[in-house]
Amino acid sequence: MKNQVQLITYVDRLSGGGMRELKALLEGPLKGLFGGAHLLPFFYPIDGSDAGFDPIDHTQVDPRLGDWSDVRALSETVDIMGDVIVNHVSSESPQFKDYAAKGAASAYAGLFLTHASVFPQGATQQDLLSIYRPRPGLPFTVTTLATGEKELLWTTFTPQQLDIDVSHPQGQAYLHSILDTFAANGIGMVRLDAVGYAIKKAGANCFMMPETFDFIAEFAQQARARKIEVLVEVHAYYQRQIEIAAKVDWVYDFALPPLVLHALFFGQSGPLKRWIAIRPNNALTVLDTHDGIGIIDIGADAADRQGSPGLVPPEELDALVERIHANSGGQSRQATGAAASNLDLYQVNCTFFDALGADDSAYLAARAIQFFMPGVPQVYYVGLLAGRNDMSLLERTRVGRDINRHHYTEGEVHAQLKQPVVERLCELIRLRNQHPAFGGQFECADSAEDALSLRWVNKDQWVHLHVDLQARQATVDMTTPEGGTTRMAL
């Protein structure tokens, strides 16, 4: 993977069109900004019950966006990452329709995970209560097949997203076919979506178990054989993230976004500095993604009855969430938890710009901290444009995360790129991509409690970020190619 900033985007929601329009944007107004692009689900269809994360056909590009030749052409401009949705498949998929029509006689009968396949002797109340799920209720849906048989299917997320039995030959063949298609069409990296839930076991919590790591290792081996790198996406207690990072290629640093907000809200760097000292460096750093701002990632371990503490105290975590709600004028409250469907118990739904009260200086300081962290930075398309909460989309869909999934027109993109905060962000992205110091050694230097000092040094080249957390302002001092020094005020 290139040591350059990457873009995370829905193809149509940034380009206003398809693959060709996105390619034109990356080769035009966004030229030189991104070494890679994570294309959020572009499979058929892009507008299912979960914004493409419930594909009917995971190996088909949605025709409204183009076809695989367009993906290959785009891969000549930037490195491409795609999602492998390892945990589930759509209830509208041809595989499930065949199973629903034929039952046990279907060639795909083994693809779908049932209650009985995990609990052949039945499940106790404790078995069911032990299952970890990111949303309320139990992860099962009763389905009546055309044969008259009734099945209790495992559905971790929604009734339209049917969990795959990844240990069954049918499940393995399904996933390997996706990797084969990706490898043949220029995709060099995959994100394993919802992989933490992929393995189920009676008597366990069915989330990030030792067997899950075994599955990830096996899948990664299959991917590497096809020259594909693997990114694991898991929201979990911070110690779990450290453990996961030691066993995989790449992880997200999901603790970073709430810790950056905490530092800027409370003017104290302690929790963030403590995380910097122990965090994994094989991380993709983010402030925002297509999902909400994670809270579980810095809180106490919910799965530990002893209450292993989080990176910040519970009262400060509560105050952080309330500050986001206040900064957004209450908009994030309307999009979070029980206020909107598609419930996420561990996230606050809000654009990162609005979470900071649309404060340009604070926003640029946050991005600078992100870009200075060891790892590879990713910038979400809404965050690139300093996007505001899309309350009209939220009102139409009542899906909380849609508040941060705006559909930009071509005109909106060009207008936003002219905003001073976006122009400064683009300068910061180019600095991160081009300055040779970022290929050297990282240091979190000593600083006051209300400040943060981060530094990269590569031989005689260096770049130094200083953040005044009380003033919520940042400056970058650096060497120049001519041998001098200069300062960038953000």
Residues forming the active site: 193, 233
CA distance to 262, 263, 348, per residue, from 274 (Å): 13, 12, 23
Residue 47 CB-density burial (10 A; 0-12 exposed, 13-18 middle, 19+ buried): exposed
Strand ranges for 226-369 from DSSP E: 229-232, 250-253, 283-285, 293-294, 347-348
Nearest CA-CA partner of 331 in 258, 257, 254, 404: 404
User: Of how many residues is the chain composed?
Assistant: 490
Q: Which amino acid is at 103?
A: G
Residue given tokens 């006051």 in the structure block: 448
DSSP 168-220: SHHHHHHHHHHHHHHHTTTEEEEEEETGGGS---TTS--SS-HHHHHHHHHHH
Q: DSSP class of residue 467?
A: E
CA distance to 26, 207, 264, 346, 436, per residue, from 79 (Å): 12, 31, 33, 31, 21
Contact 390, 402 (CB under 8 A): yes
Nearest CA-CA partner of 200 in 170, 167, 227, 173: 167
Q: Tokens standing for 372?
A: 């200075």
Peptide bond into 159 cis (omega under 30): no
Residue 184: how many other CB atoms lie within 10 Å: 11
H helices of 248-351, in order, are 256-266, 270-278, 314-327, 331-335
Beta pairing partners, 192: 84, 232
Q: DSSP class of residue 267?
A: T
**Residue 197 CB partners (closer than 8 Å, separation 6+):** 87, 156, 163, 206, 207
Taking the C-alpha atoms of residue 275 and residue 298, their distance in angstroms, rounded to an integer, is 10
Crossing angle of helices 420-434 and 360-372, rounded to 10°: 10
φ, ψ for residue 462, nearest 5 deg: -150, 155
141: phi > 0 → left, psi -120 to 50 → alpha, else beta; which?
Answer: beta
